[in-house]
Amino acid sequence: MKVEVDDVVLPGDFSEEIDTAGEKGKVILGPGLRKEIDKVYITKAGVLRKRAPNTFWVDSYQKRYVPSRGENVIGFVVQKSGDIFRVDVGSSCPATLSYLSFENATKKNRPEVQVGDVLYAKMLVASKDMEPEIVCVDSHGKKGRLGVLNEGFVFKCSLNLVRKILNPSCPLLESIKNEWPFELAAGMNGRIWIKANTMRETIAVGNAILASEYLSDDEIKNMCTNIASILAGHVS
Amino acid sequence: MGAEEQNIKEFKLKPMKCELNFLSKSDGSAILSQGETVALASVNGPLDVKMQSQSIEKSTLEVLFCSKGGKPSVGDRYKENIIRQTCETAILSSLYPRTAITITIQELEDYGGFLSCCLNTACLALVNSGVAMRHVFAAVSCALDDRGNILLEPTQQQLETARATMNFVFDSRQKSLVTSFTEGAFSEDTYKEALARCRSASDLVFSFYRDIVTKYSKVIG
Amino acid sequence: MAEIYKLIHPLKYFNDYISRNIRPDGRKFTEQRNIKLNVNSLKTADASAVVKCGNTTIVCGIKLELATPKAEEPNQGFLVTNVELPALCSSKYKPGPPSDHAQVTNCLVSDIIVNSKSVDLKDLCIVPDKLAWVLYCDMVCLDNDGSLVDACIIALMASLKTLSLPSVTYDCETEEITVDENNKTPLKVHGMPVATSFAVYKALESDMLLMDPSTYEEDMCGGIGANFVVCCNNGLLCGTQKFGGSNPSTECQEEALKMAKHRVKLVEQVIEKCIKNNEIAMSR
């Protein structure tokens, strides 16, 4: 079926706008779109989006992570073998992480990473034909915010929810960060790590995130004030 | 009988109800009722797979069919085969090499047209899981009663007295035939007519899919 | 050279043939392979047939047994089909319990026989609720080179046509069964279902139908079990099966139905001639 931008799409649909834009110049196809011989077809169900001048993608619902280059993910170290760590990031096969891809790591100075540790890392190699590889440094050799996450609490959610709360227009984090202090790391693989001062506050952040999945912006703001008042009432 | 004859003219199908994401732990799931027939499907994948069933150029699709009785039978293998072959044409399996995608289908209620309900449920579960697909597909069943009339989506009573039943699956791109399986004997012309009718009825299934996706896509963005 | 080309560019190799309107084994698109049939080849079975469609070889044997009918259908006998694909017939199968493919083929074959109503199960009943015949039809594949269902149906129908049932007397009071092997009546076979497989090849412009495909052609056209199987019986269709693979256009389907109807006559002739020859040989 023929569809337009911002329409609900199903796999097998096509949009003439993409095809005509493709004839004029370069088009960037995001997730959920695929070129077949001379036409672009939609491969995922969701909403077709466009960002000017010519970037197209489909906002779709997904729970299973498929690695993609440059994304920040949260993984668990599952194995230490020689020079590499194997890290479970939720994809079909575990990602590899060299012990040299940590800040200030050398052959002598090995990073202290144990099996079972939680890592915040960047996807370096993500190809469908190869094992994914992650690193805990940026291109300047600095760790930035990457590395082992100590203490805190990790929970799983859908990939959309992570994208939603990281969207600058989403009021969730903006609202709760003013209410009480906490640390948060969101992995694009549908895992979120949080750390707050007390157990009660940690759970409050987690619940707020999970509850916001199907809420609109206004509802999220309401919910945040509700949670804050409940929390404050009990703490004081 | 009057209502039935109207059904034929208006291409009415049994009322469909569906819930996506019915199971919290699987990557995609759907429960679908078509009339009184109900099936539940769950999709997991792309997952890690054993070396021996791994394919280097595409993902392997595994289909598991659980009947209500729970005992596996030869008939179940046959159903699994139909579902697997149909889903294989729809999934872009070359995008996930060396992995497996598993589809599990649980029979809940069978009041006629069960296999086509299973196929539609599997399609919805795949849509929900976010696996890249070439197209979606819709299954429509019909029966030939003893007077030679074609009944779309027959009830169990109609099936018991039917001379033949036919099931067709169409893709959403050109509405071409993906899968067909029939029971009983019928003439060539009847076959063609049934095919044409089911093809036009498949539009209803596709628009139902679109409605379902519309419902949940408003909030996910 | 051609062998290397086939290995490196399997798709292109196949496409090169198809685009020149010929199949890799030299056949035309609508040409079937030669059918070789022999009936009564196994002396231990009550009826048997060996069929070769090209390289595909199927041996079918029917064994008769007596049993009590099911309580739900007291006046019906049984016809049990079983298709075996042992490891011997292709490198794809492993020894062990029946593979999925064997089970699915068996389902298809038994569905075709049931749907065509070529054997009336009531004919197999001797005394209602007490005694009935069971026909165990075992089909063993010796060499699998595609179009399995076609070959299975030919072998099965040829065996059924040569099957004769010994007369049985059943004493209701003493429940004594006497089988008279010398007094046999042939089994009534109504109609003659013939299955025809087509592989659907999706070329860029149009779809191609390859009649009676070999395993190699099946692999290139959507893999095992993606054939479009049309089964005709007395001018009626008694089963059209297609599971996935490429999608044939409406014109293609019509063409397939036409070709399948045409093939029925041919196969019928083969079977009848073979049975006649066998009878002549037996009477000598």
Domain count, chain B: 1
Write out C53-119 in H/E/C secondary structure. Answer: ECCEEEEEEEEEEEECCCCCCCCCCEEEEEEECCHHHCCCCCCCCCCHHHHHHHHHHHHHHHHHCCC
Domain count, chain A: 3
> Residue B2 falls within a domain, yes or no?
no
Q: What is the pLDDT of residue C169?
A: 86
Taking only Cα atoms into account, the Rg of chain B, rounded to an integer number of angstroms, comes to 17
B92/A45 Cβ within 8 A: no
Distance CA C145, CA C32 (A): 13
On chain B, the residues whose CB falls within 8 A of the CB of A33 are none
What residue spans of C85-214 are helical by DSSP H?
Answer: 100-116, 148-162
Those residues of chain A that have pLDDT short of 50 are: 235-236
Q: Which of A149, A175, A203 is the last residue of a domain?
A: A149
B127/A11 Cβ within 8 A: yes
Residue of chain B nearest A65, judged by CA positions: B46
ipTM of model over 0.90: no
CATH number, domain containing residue A118: 2.40.50.140
> Residue A66 falls within a domain, yes or no?
no
CATH number, domain containing residue B141: 3.30.230.70
* Residue B51 phi, psi (nearest 5): -55, -40
On chain B, the residues whose CB falls within 8 A of the CB of A13 are 172
Q: Which domain holds residue A194?
A: 153-235
On chain A, the residues whose CB falls within 8 A of the CB of B213 are 8-10, 45-46
> Residue A3 falls within a domain, yes or no?
no
Going by pLDDT thresholds of 50, 70 and 90, the confidence category of residue B1 is very low
Tell me how far CA of residue B180 lies from CA of B165, C240, C245, in angstroms: 11, 7, 11
Among C237, C246, C255, C264, pick the best mutation site for testing chain B contact (most B Cβ within 10 A).
C237
Residue of chain B nearest A88, judged by CA positions: B48
B7: its two tokens: 């059904």
Distance CA B137, CA A218 (A): 37
> Residue A19 falls within a domain, yes or no?
yes
Is the N-terminal amide bond of C128 cis, ω within 30° of 0? Answer: no
A180 and A207 housed in the same domain? yes
Min Cα–Cα distance to chain C from B183, Å: 6
Say how far residue A223 (Cα) sits from the centre of its chain. Answer: 23
DSSP tag of A99:
T
Tell me how far CA of residue A174 lies from CA of A159, A181, A229, in angstroms: 20, 12, 16
Q: What is the pLDDT of residue B2?
A: 42
Per residue of chain C (284 residues), what is the pLDDT tens digit? 788 888 888 888 888 888 888 888 888 888 889 999 999 988 899 999 999 999 999 999 999 999 999 888 888 989 999 999 999 988 888 888 888 889 989 999 998 888 888 888 888 888 888 889 999 999 999 999 988 999 999 999 999 999 989 988 888 888 888 888 888 888 888 888 999 998 888 876 677 888 898 888 888 887 777 788 888 888 888 888 888 777 788 888 888 888 888 888 889 999 999 999 988 888 87
Q: What is the pLDDT of residue B54?
A: 84
Residues pairing with B61 in the sheet:
B101
Q: Which of A105, A130, A149 is the last residue of a domain?
A: A149
Going by pLDDT thresholds of 50, 70 and 90, the confidence category of residue B219 is low
Please identify among residues 5-24 of chain B the ones whose CB lies closer than 8 Å to any CB of chain C.
Answer: none
Interface membership of B187 toward C (CB under 8 Å): yes
B180/C242 Cβ within 8 A: yes
Distance CA A45, CA A50 (A): 15
Contact C105, C156 (CB under 8 A): no
In the chain, the amino acid numbered A113 is V
Interface membership of C238 toward B (CB under 8 Å): yes
Min Cα–Cα distance to chain B from C281, Å: 36
Helix (H) or strand (E) holding A182: strand A182-187
pLDDT in tens, B109-165: 998 889 999 999 999 999 999 999 999 999 999 998 888 888 888 888 888 888 889
> Residue B5 falls within a domain, yes or no?
no
Q: What is the pLDDT of residue B117?
A: 94
CATH number, domain containing residue A228: 3.30.1370.10
Q: Which of A149, A182, A199 is the last residue of a domain?
A: A149
**Residue B8 pLDDT > 50:** no
Across residues B64-70, what is the average pLDDT? 88
> Residue B205 falls within a domain, yes or no?
yes
Tell me how far CA of residue C250 lies from CA of B177, C242, C254, in angstroms: 8, 14, 6
A12/B133 Cβ within 8 A: yes
Q: What is the pLDDT of residue B120?
A: 95
A144 and A76 housed in the same domain? yes
Taking only Cα atoms into account, the Rg of chain C, rounded to an integer number of angstroms, comes to 21
CATH number, domain containing residue A20: 2.40.50
Distance CA A157, CA C229 (A): 46
**Chains in contact with chain C (at least 3 beta-carbon pairs closer than 8 A):** B
Across residues B179-203, what is the average pLDDT? 89
Q: What is the pLDDT of residue C173?
A: 81
> Residue B100 falls within a domain, yes or no?
yes
> Residue B167 falls within a domain, yes or no?
yes
A49 and A32 housed in the same domain? yes
Q: The whole model's pTM is what? A: 0.90
Q: Which sign, positive or negative, has the C-alpha torsion A80, A81, A87, A90?
A: negative
pLDDT in tens, A97-117: 999 888 888 888 888 888 999
Q: Over chain B, what is the mean pLDDT?
A: 87
- CB count in 10 Å sphere of residue C21: 9
A159 and A230 housed in the same domain? yes
A41 and A94 housed in the same domain? no
Return the closest-CA partner of residue C50 out of C282, C284, C270: C270
Return the closest-CA partner of residue B168 out of B110, B119, B207, B221: B119
- Phi/psi-derived region of residue C35, left when phi > 0, alpha when psi is between -120 and 50, beta in every other case: beta
* Residue B212 phi, psi (nearest 5): -60, -45
**Chains in contact with chain A (at least 3 beta-carbon pairs closer than 8 A):** B
A55 and A79 housed in the same domain? no
Q: What is the Cβ-side half-sphere exposure of residue B135, based on CA atoms within 13 angstroms?
A: 22
**Chains in contact with chain B (at least 3 beta-carbon pairs closer than 8 A):** A, C
Contact A191, A90 (CB under 8 A): yes
Min Cα–Cα distance to chain B from C256, Å: 11
Q: What is the Cβ-side half-sphere exposure of residue A67, based on CA atoms within 13 angstroms?
A: 30
In the chain, the amino acid numbered C119 is V
Q: What is the pLDDT of residue B5?
A: 46
Share of chain B above pLDDT 70, in %: 93
Going by pLDDT thresholds of 50, 70 and 90, the confidence category of residue B220 is low
Please identify among residues 80-109 of chain C the ones whose CB lies closer than 8 Å to any CB of chain B.
Answer: 100, 103-104, 106-107
Instruction: List CB contacts of A70: < 8 A, sequence separation 6 or more.
Output: A122, A123
Q: Which domain holds residue B128?
A: 11-220
Q: What is the pLDDT of residue B45?
A: 80
**CATH number at C2-283:** 3.30.230.70
B145: its two tokens: 């009663």
B219/A214 Cβ within 8 A: yes
